Structure formats: C-alpha cells, structure tokens
C-alpha cells in the first residue's frame, strides 16, 4: 500500500514539475499518444495470447437446474444449454455482475459451533457503482473531444448535475465514483482476509484511479483552469494536430498531472489485472453452454489413439476365473491351459 | 486413527491469521495433515513420470534431479493447452468474493485455503516467468520463483481442495480454482508426486476395471449375494445379468456401491428397480467402475479410464448407457466423456429413449448416457412405479447435493422429484448450503482417506453444520445423496457433526418404497432393519 501510494504521488509530482518546467508537450502530447498505442496494442496482444490456447473442455460452472426432462424447469440464465442462453448469461454477468450478486459473508462462531451466512451485497453494490460512474464520467469527458458537443452528452451532464449544488455544478457521478473507490480501498485495508491477500498489484491501480479522479475534480471545482484552452488542446490531440505553447501556457500544470495519471493507467492496463475487463468474455466457466452431453465438444489436442486397457487384454488376464464364474467370454480358454 | 477433538475444540483451535507475508511461511507436514504418498510400484505400473520413494513428512522428497526444469516446462505446456489457465492466471482481481466460499478455509482459517490464495500459489510462479512486471519487479508484485518449499506448498494445498467449484460460482469472472488445482496436481505428477488413496484405485481400475480391484468372479459373487439379500427383504430375487451381449442398456455405477456399506443398499435398490421394470440391461465386470479417480490425477488418466465405457458398449452392442448415482463420475460424463472418447459408437441409439415411458433423453443425445435419477424421475412422473412412501415414514430426510452434479451439471430437481415421491417427510437444508450453493462433504476428489480425518471433519464443517441445523429444527434423521463418495464420507461426517443422522443413496429409498409384483409383505427395509410403520409391523 505505502509503496503504491509513493509511486502514485511520485508520478503526480514528476508530471507537475515537468509541466511547470515547460515540458507540457512531453506530458500532454507525447505521453498520451504513446499511452494509447501501448494500451491498444497491449490489450490486443494479451487477447491474442489467450486465444492461442484452445478451450479443450467445455467446463461451464452450472448455477442452477440443467435442461433435462421437459417438466423440470431449467434455470436458463444460470445454466444455459444454448448459445442464446449463454449470451443472456454473459449479459447479466458483464452488465450486472450477477455472480457477485450471489455473494454472502460466512462467519464461523464458536458457540455451537456454527456458521452464520450474511447476505453481502456491498461489494456488488460498490463495484457496480464504481464501474458505471467511471463509464459515465468517461462519456462526459467527450465534451472535450467532440465539437460541437452532442446533445446526449449535454443531457448526461444535466442529469448528473441535477442536485444543483455549487458552481460549477457538482456532478453526482464524480462524488459516487470517489465514494466507491474509497470503499474498495477501505475493504482492502480493514477486512482481515482482504488485507492478507492484497498485493501492490491491487493497491496501485486503485490509488492511481483515485489520484486521477481527485486531480480531475480539483480541476473542475478548485484549481480551475482555462476550459477554452483545454478544449482547444484536447481537440488538437484527437485531430492529430497538437497545439503549441501559445495554448498550453494558459493551462495549469494540474491538467497535465491529470492527463499523466490517465496515460499511466492506460499503459498499465494491459499488463495488469485490469485485463479482467476483456478477460471475462473469454471465461470458459461462463461463456459456454452446458450441453456437452447433447453436442460434441472437440479438443484439438485430444489423442484419439491413446492406449487404454482393452476388453481383450482384460479377458486375457482373467479368462479362467471368468469362465469359472460362468461369465461369457469371447475366447474359450485353451485346452492346454486346463489340467 | 488418532482420536478426534470435539467439534468445540476443533473450531476453537483454528489459528488466527499469521503476521508474516504468506510467501515467508513454509508448509508444515505434521501427521494427520497430509495424505500418504503413492507407492513407487503403483506409479511405475501406470507409467507415470519419475516414480520414486518419498514421504511428505521427510525433509527431502527425492525429487528428480532436473525437477525445476520439468516443472517449468510442464507449466508452460499446460498454458499452451488450456486457455482457462492463462486466463485464470491473468484476470483475478483479488476481490475476495471467493475467500469464504471454501469449506477448507472455513474449517481451518488457513489463509492459503482461501481459493484466491490457493490460486496465488501458482499465480506467483506464473508472474515470475510469464508476465513482464513480475519479471522486473519480482516479490514486490507477488512474483516468486520455484524452489523445493514451493513444491511442497503446492502439494499441501492442491490436496486441501476437493475441486468442488463452489468458489467459481461466486467469482465475477468464473475463475475456477478446481481447474487450477487439477492442473497443479498434473504438474506435481510430472515430478512423481501423487497420493496413495488416488493412485491405488487408478491402478486397480486400470487392471480389474474398478477402483476396488475386485476381480470379475468376486464381483459377480458379491452382486449375487446382494441379490440374495434383496430376496430376503422382498421375497423376489432380482436377476443379475453380467457381460451379456445384445441388451438395450448397459448399466454402469461406481464400484464403491458393490462393496461398502451403505452404498450396497443403493446397489440393491437398482437391482430391484430394474427387475420390477423387466429392464433389458446388463452389468459389466470390465466396465465395472462408474467413478474415475483418474480425473483427480491428470486429464489423460481420466480419459484412459473412461475409455472403457464406450468400448464395452460397443462390444456388447448396447443401445445406450444408464449411469448410477455418483458425483465426480457425472462431472466426467457430463463435461468430459464425449470430448475424451466420443463420439459414441455408431451403432448406439440416436437419442437414448426410456423403454418404459418412451421419453427421449435429448439432453444426452451425443454421449448416450442417462443419469439414473433422470430415468427414475421420468418413470415416476409417468406413474410407472407403484410406490408406498409410508414405508419410509420413520425417516425425516434431507438431501445433500454433491458438488459435481450441482456445479458441473445442474442435476438438482431430478433427485428431489424422486425423493419426494418415495418419502413423505422431506426437508431442505438452509438455502445457502444446497443446490448450486452446496457445500462439499469435505473429502471429494480423492481425499476420502482415513489419515486426514481431522482435516476432513474441518472441511466438512459447513455441511455438518447445515445438517445439524435441520436435525435440531425439524428432527431430520436421514440424509440422501446421489454420490458414492458421499455415501462413504457423509456417515463419519454426520456422526461427528450431527450424530444420529443416517446416510443413503436415493435408490435405496426408492426400493424401500417400491411395491414389486408378487413381493412378500415387507417387514424390513433393505438394511434388514424392522420397518416401524408397516401395518401389523408391531405384532
Ligand atoms: S472471486 Fe474471482 S476475482 Fe475475486 S478473488 Fe476470487 S478468484 Fe479472484
Ligand atoms: S474448488 Fe472448492 S475446495 Fe477448491 S478452492 Fe474452490 S471452494 Fe475450495
């Protein structure tokens, strides 16, 4: 945790100093371009790496009643037997975190002794909140990338700012995003089980995103910067015509800190657990139908001619006792074998 | 076997989480904490790689000289063969949702028994060799290299996982620690490490056709004796067809049910049911094992043992295969058999069809293998069985879903439909411990061995606890299941956590309730115990 915090702070300080020392184009232009390239190439590279290995066996985790006799109701969402069923299962998994929704918390008590199961939807709730708010905040940022700003984005902003607190108006998603992040961090710090298994690999992305959000919020609410210049700057980036120092000098260093955090996140993504996002689509315990008794599933490295003990070998070993026990045999024992 | 601590002592003795980082804690092999090693001779017979003498309690495990390279190569090969492995290594976010889903963790409070940590044991090695950040930053980002203690640690925790897949149900990405455990066990086999309780049955099955090593003549003899017992109970001696060609159905069930109490009563149940139906079937001594301990060692071994089923169906000309009550057997049949050894022999029926009701089992169209509770539930639905459930009235029964049929198949309502038709008193255990949420018996995947009895009682605690709950609340005195391993593991578990609860297969209860044509008045159940609820039974 502390190492991750240090690294994240360091990234911020370096970006701040860099931007202040006139290296704005390094942190504002070069780095983002590199980051996007690494991100895209890295994600594709990892997905190709996964795809290179076959799926030898169809091993869906069945979460309910199978399709069997027609009068028995199949749990078609949790134990699909068709491709369409799998699409529905994956949809619920990806958009509503259905498996996480099942979560319980088990506690062993020494009275009895007994186990008590508590419904535990907190992780599900905050994980969902985090992902959706992150998505909305991301979409909101399109106002900086598209000119003129599309109506749907203006609409999202209007809904997001519905509380009408402060000027500029407080965005709900930003606050919820930060809350969710703090919850996710808090459980790693205060839950004994989580604390024991958490690695730098877990703290670093969390703290990085928190830093990204905090720097973004500061830009909006506290250390305001010249929005028109920012927009000119980002438009330059997306149209591949980066603007020069005449614009960047109007933009505060904090903006470059924000942009650097984003760039680091993008570059870190393909090499980290964040790959769970594309990964979930590849998961053979979720993305296959449970129809392996009805439809053949082929394993490319299956050895058709692998040896096993054949009946003939078996009978050769046991022929005499088999005959004695009155079992039918393929080959009668040789007369010579008998006394 | 050492005497067990009381349940209270057992739970009170769960240690707190250690202070040190998990990488700095070495595995501890004290008696009772590990399964006995496989014998060198057994491993040789099976042509397993690097067979050698060793003992987990020893400092030196006599690993082959180039053990590290063997393991690195084997791991690499598995990554190339299984997309699941690459993915599960890459995408875990350590959210901890799976942490308290594992019965081993609940029973031991050992952090490395949290499924996510069990996977981290391997993932840390993966990071070092297969990820960029791991290569550069090492331990800082949870990466580590191989050493002999790591091998020991992998062994310890791969055999404290029953491959039950409960963790996988709750994981937002479906990460299946059972899959990881299966692959770790494969890796360990590459350097000659396996356990006796698994490898011995594998060897037996390979030679004699069944795990228990029962030779053909003894197999027949035992089944004949069971048929005699049936006659004792109902006055009718069911037929016992063996290795006969030209029958419609080949029946295959775990050999444990031919041999061990209380499984034998389930087997008697099958014999009586088939006799009453006049079913055109045969048993086989060659394919006399439904279970597959090979599936607890390597994928190839599982395939090898499974191959006999189709080979025998082909030789005997059976139209389809009916499979008995067993857990891991059905994981193999449902998710692997067709891929391993399919497609089924060409002469088999297009769609397995019940000769009694005409129902087509379309869900088994390709494997041609039907689960006995699918078959019986269908019979009952079509009123083809005359049943007197009151004969089971002295039982208040609950049902234990075995992990594999629950989470590797989804066989949940079929056995319930059968049970409810043959028992008047049926009670479910708490919601979070049944159906897809079910807890393992604590000793599946080849861990049903005596030497780790205390560990088994720990890992069986969630199941035992749920059982005691319904025992106290509803007076439950019986637990039915559809698994031969359960029939071996649940009696000691019930004895420990909920004394007074008996255990049986579903078809034992079916046969108790089954009114057979021409039977004598039943005064005892299949266990030859007096039936208290029979009219005039008290005379
Ligand atoms: S639930 Fe899945 S993602 Fe979360 S810690 Fe467990 S294995 Fe990892
Ligand atoms: S498969 Fe079962 S025993 Fe293994 S880690 Fe997961 S929950 Fe535990």
Angle of CA points B244, B246, B247, to nearest 5°: 80
Residue B123 lies in a domain: yes
Please tell me the total count of domains within chain B: 3
Last residue of a domain, one of B315, B350, B381: B381
pLDDT(B25) > 50: yes
Q: Which two tokens stand for residue B266?
A: 């389930």
CATH number at residue B426: 3.40.50
Does ligand 1 lie within 6 Å of residue B95's CB atom? yes
Q: Of all residues in chain B, what percent are helix, strand and coil, respectively (each to 5)?
A: 50, 5, 40
pLDDT, mean of residues B29-35:
90
d(CA B43, CA B37): 11
For chain B, say whether A181 makes contact (Cβ under 8 Å): no
Which among B11, B25, B87 is the top mutation candidate for probing chain A, defined by the most A β-carbons within 10 Å of its own β-carbon?
B87
Q: How many other CB atoms are found less than 10 A from the CB of residue B239?
A: 12
Residue B520 lies in a domain: no
Going by alpha carbons, the residue nearest to atom 7 of ligand 2 is: B102
Same domain, B369 and B420: no
Q: Which two tokens stand for residue B490?
A: 């649940």
CATH number at residue B118: 1.10.1060
User: B49, B43, B47, B85: which is closest to B66 by C-alpha?
Assistant: B49
CB within 8 Å: A69 and B87: no
Q: Which residues of B417-456 are buried (b: 16+ CB within 10 A; e: fewer)?
A: bbbbbbbbbbbebeebbbbbbbbbbbbbbbbbbebbbbbb
For A325, which of B172, B220, B315 is closest by C-beta distance?
A: B220
- Collect all residues of chain A within an 8 Å Cβ-Cβ radius of residue B132: 271
CB within 8 Å: A64 and B469: no
CB within 8 Å: A66 and B215: no
For chain B, say whether A311 makes contact (Cβ under 8 Å): yes
CB within 8 Å: B165 and A324: no
Model confidence pLDDT, tens digit, residues A247-305: 888 888 899 999 999 999 999 999 999 999 999 999 999 999 999 999 999 999 999 89
For chain B, say whether A65 makes contact (Cβ under 8 Å): yes
Residue B124 lies in a domain: yes
> Going by C-beta distance under 8 Å and a sequence separation of 6 or more, which residues neighbour residue A331?
A315, A319
Last residue of a domain, one of B381, B415, B437: B381
Same domain, B170 and B99: yes
Q: pTM for this one? A: 0.94
Phi-psi region of B498 (alpha: psi -120 to 50; beta: other; left: phi over 0): beta
Which among B335, B384, B458, B460 is the top mutation candidate for probing chain A, defined by the most A β-carbons within 10 Å of its own β-carbon?
B335
Homologous superfamily, domain A2-308:
Transmembrane di-heme cytochromes, Chain C (1.20.950.20)
Residue B523 lies in a domain: no
pLDDT of residue A335: 61
d(CA B360, CA A208): 58
> Going by C-beta distance under 8 Å and a sequence separation of 6 or more, which residues neighbour residue A110?
B8, B11, B12
Residue B297 lies in a domain: yes
Residue B432 lies in a domain: yes
Domain boundaries, chain A: 2-308, 309-339
Residue B518 lies in a domain: no
Phi/psi of residue A93, each to 5°?
-70, -45
A160, A173 contact by CB (below 8 A): yes
Same domain, B436 and B372: no
Same domain, B221 and B370: yes
Model confidence pLDDT, tens digit, residues A217-259: 999 888 878 888 999 999 999 899 888 888 888 888 899 999 9
B2 — pLDDT class (breaks 50, 70, 90)? low
Model confidence pLDDT, tens digit, residues B209-229: 888 888 999 999 999 999 999
The two beta strands, B397-400 and B478-481, are: parallel
Same domain, B118 and B51: yes
Residues of chain A with pLDDT under 70: 335-339
Residue B368 lies in a domain: yes
Average pLDDT of every residue of chain B: 94
d(CA B165, CA A288): 16
Q: Is A105 helix (H, G, I), strand (E, B) or coil?
A: strand
Last residue of a domain, one of B166, B194, B222: B194
Burial class (CB in 10 A: 0-12, 13-18, 19+), A49: middle
Host domain of residue B297:
211-381
Model confidence pLDDT, tens digit, residues B323-355: 999 999 999 999 999 999 999 999 999 999 999
Same domain, B31 and B160: yes
């Amino acid at each position: 945790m502390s190492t991750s915090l240090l690294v994240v702070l360091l990234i911020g300080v370096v970006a701040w100093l860099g931007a202040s020392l006139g290296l704005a184009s390094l942190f504002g232009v070069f780095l983002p371009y590199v980051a996007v390239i690494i991100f895209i190439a890295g994600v594709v590279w990892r997905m190709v790496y996964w795809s290179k290995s076959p799926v030898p066996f169809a091993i869906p985790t069945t979460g309910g009643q199978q399709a069997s006799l027609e009068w028995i109701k199949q749990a078609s969402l949790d134990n699909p037997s068709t491709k369409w069923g799998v699409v529905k299962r994956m949809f619920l998994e990806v958009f509503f975190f259905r498996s996480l929704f099942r979560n319980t918390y088990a506690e062993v008590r020494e009275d009895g002794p007994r186990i008590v199961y508590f419904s535990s939807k907190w992780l599900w709730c905050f994980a969902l909140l985090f992902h959706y708010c992150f998505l909305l905040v991301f979409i909101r940022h399109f106002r900086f990338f598209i000119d003129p700003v599309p109506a749907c984005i203006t609409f999202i902003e209007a809904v997001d700012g519905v509380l009408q607190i402060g000027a500029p108006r407080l965005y709900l998603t930003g606050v919820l995003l930060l809350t969710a992040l703090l919850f996710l961090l808090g459980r790693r710090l205060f839950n004994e089980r989580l604390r024991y298994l958490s690695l730098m690999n877990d703290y670093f992305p969390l703290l990085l995103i928190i830093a990204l959000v905090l720097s973004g919020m500061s830009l909006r609410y506290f250390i305001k910067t010249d929005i028109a210049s920012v927009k000119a700057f980002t438009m330059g980036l997306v149209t591949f015509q980066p603007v020069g120092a005449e614009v960047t000098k109007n933009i505060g260093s904090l903006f470059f800190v924000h942009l650097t955090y984003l760039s680091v996140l993008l570059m870190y993504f393909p090499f980290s657990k964040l790959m769970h996002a594309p990964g979930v689509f590849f998961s053979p315990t979720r993305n296959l139908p449970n129809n392996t008794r009805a439809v053949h599933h082929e394993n490319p490295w299956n050895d058709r001619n692998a040896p096993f003990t054949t009946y003939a070998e078996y009978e050769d070993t046991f022929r005499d006792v088999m005959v004695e026990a009155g079992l039918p045999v393929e080959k009668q024992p040789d007369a010579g074998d008998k006394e | 076997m050492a005497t067990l601590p009381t349940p209270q002592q057992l739970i009170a003795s769960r240690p707190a989480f250690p202070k040190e980082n998990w990488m700095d804690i070495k595995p501890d092999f004290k008696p009772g904490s590990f399964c006995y090693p496989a014998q060198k001779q057994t491993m040789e017979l099976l042509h397993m790689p690097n067979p050698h003498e060793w003992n987990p309690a020893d400092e030196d495990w006599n690993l082959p000289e180039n053990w590290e390279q063997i393991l690195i190569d084997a791991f690499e090969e598995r990554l190339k063969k299984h997309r699941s492995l690459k993915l599960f290594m890459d995408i875990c976010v350590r959210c901890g949702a799976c942490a308290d889903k594992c019965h081993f963790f609940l029973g031991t409070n050992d952090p490395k028994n949290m499924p996510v940590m069990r996977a981290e044991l391997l993932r840390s090695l993966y990071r070092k060799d297969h990820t960029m950040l791991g290569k550069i930053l090492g331990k800082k980002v949870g990466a580590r290299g191989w050493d002999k203690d790591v091998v020991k640690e992998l062994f310890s925790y791969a055999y404290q996982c029953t491959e039950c897949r409960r963790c996988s149900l709750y994981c937002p990405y479906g990460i299946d620690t059972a899959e990881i455990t299966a692959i770790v066990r494969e890796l360990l086999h590459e350097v000659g490490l396996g356990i006796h309780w698994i490898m011995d049955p594998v060897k037996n099955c390979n030679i004699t056709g069944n795990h228990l090593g029962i030779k053909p003549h003894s197999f027949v003899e035992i089944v004949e004796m069971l048929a005699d017992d049936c006659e004792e109970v109902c006055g009718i001696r069911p037929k016992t067809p063996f290795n006969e060609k030209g029958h419609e159905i080949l029946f295959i069930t775990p050999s444990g049910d031919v041999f061990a109490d209380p499984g034998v009563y389930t087997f008697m149940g099958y014999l009586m049911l088939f006799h009453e139906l006049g079913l055109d079937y045969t048993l086989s001594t060659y394919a006399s094992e439904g279970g597959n301990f090979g599936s607890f060692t390597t994928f190839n071994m599982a395939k090898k043992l499974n191959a006999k089923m189709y080979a025998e169906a082909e030789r005997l000309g059976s139209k389809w295969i009916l499979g008995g009550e067993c857990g891991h057997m059905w994981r193999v049949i449902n998710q692997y058999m067709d891929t391993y050894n399919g497609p089924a022999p060409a002469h088999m029926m297009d769609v397995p069809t019940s000769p009694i009701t005409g129902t087509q089992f379309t869900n088994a169209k390709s494997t041609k293998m039907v689960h006995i509770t699918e078959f019986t539930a269908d019979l009952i639905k079509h009123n083809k069985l005359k049943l007197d459930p009151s004969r089971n009235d002295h039982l208040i029964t609950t049902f234990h879903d075995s992990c594999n049929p629950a989470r590797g198949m989804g066989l949940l309502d079929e056995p319930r439909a059968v049970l409810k038709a043959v028992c008047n008193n049926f009670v479910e255990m708490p919601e979070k411990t049944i159906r897809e949420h079910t807890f393992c018996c604590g000793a599946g995947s080849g861990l049903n061995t005596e030497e780790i009895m205390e560990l088994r009682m720990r890992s069986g605690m969630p199941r035992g606890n749920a059982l005691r709950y319904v025992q106290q609340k509803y007076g439950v005195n019986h637990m039915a299941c559809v698994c031969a391993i359960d029939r071996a593991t649940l009696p000691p578990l019930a004895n420990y956590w909920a004394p007074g609860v008996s255990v049986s297969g579903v078809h034992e209860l079916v046969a108790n309730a089954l009114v057979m044509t021409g039977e004598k008045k039943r005064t005892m159940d299949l266990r030859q115990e007096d039936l208290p609820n029979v009219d005039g039974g008290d005379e």
